[in-house]
């Protein structure tokens, strides 16, 4: 179950970042698309790290 959910999450993340890249690239340039995609990637990584830290603290209290 965990593996399946992880694969779905990875695929959804790649799709979201790819969609952002191609949307910005169509309106501006490939460089702008790359920078926006990179910013989105970093933001998502930080959100995941914060969520995992919260989960670790919650499980330690239990």
Residue-wise pLDDT for 3-23, tens only, equals: 999 999 899 999 999 999 999
Best CA proximity match to 20, nearest among 32, 11, 9, 5: 32
- Residue 53 and residue 50: Cα distance in Å, rounded? 5
Q: What angle do the packed helices 30-61 and 2-27 form, to 10 degrees?
A: 150
The model carries a pTM of 0.78
Q: Reply yes or no on whether the pLDDT at 62 is more than 80.
A: no
Residue-wise pLDDT for 40-54, tens only, equals: 999 999 999 999 999
Burial class from Cβ neighbours inside 10 Å (0-12, 13-18, 19+) for residue 17 reads middle
């Amino acid at each position: 179950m965990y593996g399946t959910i992880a694969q779905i999450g990875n695929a959804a993340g790649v799709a979201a970042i790819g969609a952002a890249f191609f949307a910005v690239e169509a309106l501006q340039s490939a460089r702008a698309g790359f920078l926006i995609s990179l910013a989105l990637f970093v933001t998502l990584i930080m959100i995941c790290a914060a969520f995992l830290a919260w989960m670790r603290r919650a499980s330690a209290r239990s």
